[in-house]
Structure 1
């Protein structure tokens, strides 16, 4: 697809150049050069009791430590960094099987 660029101005640009105005009107006659004012908010949202309780729980959990053993996390982080962390594949497989058995009951 090719387009010829001939340097001709569009009719809207010719009108702006001729009048010296940057105000452009829409087809409806409204001036499109003026800023648009904000409209009043018509939408409203009301939370159910469950949603309010979930928000409160989220704030509570976000504010308090979630029972994380920081010392254990730091020990694992250190052993990962120095390469001494060992994975026990048999223990992982055993736990996966016990989880599968618990879920299938």
Structure 2
């Protein structure tokens, strides 16, 4: 079907209305019932474990106050020791994880 564009609007064809149902026990006054959803969701074991970890982490404090106090004390009394080999090793591990 093709239509010529000439600047005039054509009226859309009228929509048909459906007659009420003639089925026994169904009246035109009866409201439609919603359709029950058939979809379901089942989490895998991994997803359930991730949710448990998320709940645990959300309840844990963001800062380990005891560790901060221990580091602060060792800095103040001069006993804090920096291990450059451990730092370098962890940096290399992180780089390998990030860049494969």
TM-score w.r.t. length of structure 2: 0.37
Bigger Rg over Cα: 2
* TM, length-normalised to structure 1: 0.36
